[in-house]
Chains A and B, each alone.
Chain A
Amino acid sequence: MASSSHSSNFPCAACKFLRRKCMPDCVFAPYFPPEEPQKFINVHKIFGASNVSKLINEVAPHQREDAVNSLAYEAEARLKDPVYGCVGAISILQRQVLRLQRELDAIHADLIRYATATCSCNEMPPPMGRTCFHHNSSGNIYYPNPHWNEPYEGNGRSDGGSL
């Protein structure tokens, strides 16, 4: 949460941790208030202050707060789970999505059977259509580039690790 009021007397969490003077144009000050020191500590431990600074500068000003918050989330997740980080949650959620899709397919099949059996009376409404989600060829969702490494799905897994 960006601090609305910034004063040079009160260094931001970043400058306080780095033990440096918090300048008025400090890039970290709006997003790492002194009341939340752990936020910057986590981010610095995983990504490093320089990297975070570069990432903030690459993003539009109105999106920087969201970017910092997402980095803070990923850093905290990586500290809790050094092996998988936030990717573990993605894998679990993807499996849940696949399971729900399979269950929905089975229910749709049952619905079509019943609809076919009762189609003579023509009293029942037709089965509902499926909600259209964007799928790629492997059935996974929201993968920006199938050529990149994908979390524990399809052919990308050479090892036997799993959550």
Chain B
Amino acid sequence: MTLKGGATSACAACKYQRRKCIPECLLAPYFPADQTKVFQNAHKLFGVSNIVKILRSLDPSQHAEAMRSIKYQANVRDRFPVYGCLGVIRQLYYQIQMLEEEMHTVLTQLEMYRQHHHHQQQQQQHQHQHQISSMADDVISQLELGMAPSNNALPLFNQVTHQPYTMQNTYSSSDIDSPPKDNVENNSLWIQHLFFDTNNHGTSNNDSPIAIQSQLLVPNSEPLADTQHQVVQDYDEIHPFFDSIDDRQSYIDTKDAEDSSSSEESLKETTQLMVGNVGSKDLKSAAACFSLTSVS
């Protein structure tokens, strides 16, 4: 109700009640003149007296929040006369239940995807290992055909021998139980792989096989250190292989050695004979034979 003299207009509550809106009106801050519908809803549900009673039971700092909830509650009751805010609460409970069920289902599906992804990764890893093994087979066949390994491969051989051990650490548990002879085969396979690559590169540079080795060891950097640490210990284990290689070479050497040794033995025998049977004069003559000087 507008006051005479053009003063501020009454609030919706006072206007509805057709009374003078005093400055101390409790409801004026919360029911402006333009929100008549909101006040009507609140008045219909609570009544002015009950609203004022609630506000007076509260601290002034809580009036704003209380009025906000009262207006909301009244508006919902006006929209839904039967259930009011209880209907809203039930609907929210239902929605929460649906969301939780959906979340459970999606989490289950996500777990399936994760397991599938993890399984895929393992399969790819195994395939990669098999590819390397097949390439090593080629190198073995070349060795069996009598192809001598290059000198560049020798130090790498020491480093590579532990490749299977290190790579085996990345295998699944089923691979751990492989028999030891597989390790021996892998040893040679790794060596053949490096030999193959070394031959392909056709260079005496040791970096290329090392690079390949480092690529192979990328997923496991620690095993590379272990490999280097155990090179010395395992050198003896792989040494027989080189013994065989050396045997081939030494076979040629020994052959010459035998020739030289036979000549030496014959020389010794001759010397012994000559020493045992002849005197000094004869020795001189014998020495002359050796010195190619005639003794007259």
Contact = CB atoms under 8 A, between A and B. Distances in A.
Nearest to A91: B69
A114 interface: yes
Contacts of B100: 100
**Most chain-B Cβ atoms within 10 A of its Cβ — which of A54, A66, A90, A144?**
A90
Interface stretch (A5-13, A14-22, A33-41, A80-88): A80-88
B88 to A, nearest CB: 5
B64 A107 contact: no
A157 B8 CA distance: 25
Contacts of B86: 69-70, 73-74, 86
A59 interface: yes
B128 interface: no
Counting contact residues on chain B (CB < 8 A from A), the size range is 35 or more
B92 A94 contact: yes
B113 A89 contact: no
Given A59-B81, A70-B86, A124 B76 contact: no
Contact of A74 (B66, B73, B81, B82): B73
A81 B44 CA distance: 21
A131 interface: yes
Interface in B83-121: 83-89, 91-93, 95-96, 98-100, 102-103, 105-107, 109-110, 112-114, 116-117, 120
Interface residues of A, number: 65
**Most chain-B Cβ atoms within 10 A of its Cβ — which of A93, A117, A152?**
A93
B80 A149 contact: no
B75 A149 contact: yes
A84 B69 contact: yes
Contacts of B99: 97, 100-101, 104, 131
A133 B102 CA distance: 12
Contacts of B80: 144
A103 B103 contact: yes
Given A63-B82, A124-B116, 19 more contacts: A47-B50, A48-B46, A70-B83, A74-B73, A83-B66, A85-B70, A87-B72, A97-B92, A100-B100, A103-B103, A104-B99, A111-B106, A114-B113, A128-B102, A145-B75, A148-B38, A150-B72, A151-B69, A161-B65
